[in-house]
Amino acid sequence: MSDRVRTALGPLELPSPVLTAAGCGGTGRELAPFFDLGRLGAFTTTSVTAQPRAGRPTPRVAETPSGLLTAMGMPGPGIETFLERDLPWLVEQDVRTIVSLAGHSVEEFAELAHRLRGVPGVAAVEVNVACPNVADRGRMFARHPAAAAAAIRAVRDGTRPGTPVLAKLAPDATDIVTIALACVDAGADGLTLINTMEGMAIDTGTLRPALTGVSGGLSGPALRPVAVRCVYQVHAALPHTPIIGTGGVATGLDALELILAGASAVAVGTALFHDPLAVPRVLRELEEALAARRIERLADAVGLAHRPAGFVPPQVRPHEPEKERTP
């Protein structure tokens, strides 16, 4: 990995800006046969819950144009098994690991942070606030600034000061900037933007909703413009808060787009299901794209799209058409 792609999320330095997105990289073991996990900027775990969760019945996924709709029901082994079985494996492989947490109440978030405190091998903690809050009749924390902030505060208070806490926000909010500001006020050191967006598909054969969960989360390239918009708006309001851009990244140029909007790193989710080698490929393509634009350091590209229109950026040389691979 070249110095060109080095990046940082606040105090957390990463040799590569390409991460796996929460819930899309399995336990790490499933990806390991395909590429050296050391090439990951970081591995983000599936959101860890307090108890084991079987999740929703099948069908959990439907294919939509350039996207997936999934209703998973937050399946996972629970934090105890995670700490015994999954995290130690990642530590053994020397993989920088961001642990994602999912609680159904502020107390549960606090408990999860407490269980994780001091555990070796946690590069950062990501708080998945796209969870139903049982204290609020199941409405998502991510939809309400105060609820999201309370979850972040609980995790920040329970986490060692040196370990960054990232707030992972969902686009299904009236104003994502308000939510982001509330989370940063509550102590979030960075933001992961975005989680899936609620959508729905109906099976025209069975004449019923395609998913058992009825509605589901839209992910994949279909979501990318929404992610770019969210990153752009939040970076404009919080230019000094590091952002992990997530949503439909499948190529190096997709990654660059989120970086230009204001992300310091990107996470690849759905593309991993289609291409298990997506992470090293996106990294290679991003390095090439930066070089073609004579951008020497990734940091110089972060938020570049916010420059006023009169600014003349380095141009891509016209006779080098770029390979594009947009699912």
Partner 1 sequence: MSDTPVQTSATVLTVRQVQDYHAMTLVAPAIAERFRPGQFVAAAVGGAHTARLVRRCFGVHEVKSDYGGTVEVVFADTEPGTGWLAGLRSRDQLDLVGPLGRPFRLPRDPVGCVLTGGGPGAASLFALADTLLRRGCKVHFVLAGPSARQVFGSRMAQRVGDTAAIVTEDGSVGEEGTLDDVLPRVLQETGADVVYGCGPTDLLRTITQIAGELGLPSQVSVEEFLQRTGACGTGLCMTCMLPVHGEDGVTRMVRACADGPVLRGDRVRWSDLGTIPFDALGAPRVLSVTEGGSR
Instruction: Report the residue from 138, 225, 239, 313 that binds partner 1 according to the rule CB under 8 A.
Output: 138
Instruction: Report the residue from 4, 39, 56, 284 that binds partner 1 according to the rule CB under 8 A.
Output: 56
- Please report which helix (H) or strand (E) contains residue 230, including its range: helix 224-237
- Is residue 269 near ligand FMN by the rule CB under 6 A? yes
Instruction: Report the residue from 77, 248, 262, 303 that binds ligand FMN according to the rule CB under 6 A.
Output: 248
Instruction: Report the residue from 4, 6, 53, 293 that binds partner 1 according to the rule CB under 8 A.
Output: 53
- Is residue 60 near partner 1 by the rule CB under 8 A? yes
- Is residue 251 near ligand FMN by the rule CB under 6 A? no
Contact assessment for residue 141 and residue 148, using Cβ atoms and an 8 Å cutoff: yes
Among 237, 230, 253, CA closest to 245 = 230
Tokens 């105890």: give the residue. 80
**What is the Cα 230 distance to its own chain's centre?**
13
- In terms of Cβ atoms closer than 10 Å to its own Cβ (0-12, 13-18, 19+), residue 196 is buried
Q: CB within 8 A of 67, min separation 6: which ones? A: 218, 219, 220, 221, 222, 223, 248, 270
- Would residue 230 show up in a list of annotated catalytic residues for this protein? no
The site partner of 138 among ligand FMN, partner 1, none (C-beta below 5 to 8 Å per kind) is partner 1
- Is residue 54 near partner 1 by the rule CB under 8 A? yes
Q: Which stretch binds partner 1 (CB under 8 A): 7-15, 51-59, 260-268, 287-295?
A: 51-59
- Is residue 68 near partner 1 by the rule CB under 8 A? yes
Residue 133 pairs with which residues in a beta bridge?
A: 139
Select which of 24, 131, 183, 230 is catalytic: 131
Min separation Cβ 116 and partner 1, Å: 19
**What is the Cα 187 distance to its own chain's centre?**
18
For 182, phi and psi rounded to 5 degrees? Answer: -60, -40
- Is residue 128 near ligand FMN by the rule CB under 6 A? yes
Q: What whole-number distance in Å separates Cα of residue 31 and Cα of residue 24? A: 10
Among 11, 14, 19, 8, CA closest to 168 = 19
Instruction: Report the residue from 105, 163, 196, 264 that binds ligand FMN according to the rule CB under 6 A.
Output: 196
- Is residue 280 near partner 1 by the rule CB under 8 A? no
Q: What whole-number distance in Å separates Cα of residue 156 and Cα of residue 110? A: 9
Binding stretches for partner 1 (CB under 8 A) = 23-26, 30-31, 33-34, 46-47, 51-61, 63, 65-68, 70-78, 102, 128, 130-132, 134, 137-138, 140, 170, 195-196, 198, 212-213, 215-217, 220-221, 270-277, 325-327
Residues identified as active-site: 131
Q: Which residues bind ligand FMN (CB under 6 A)?
A: 21-24, 46-47, 68, 70, 72, 100, 128, 168, 195-196, 219-220, 223, 246-249, 268-271
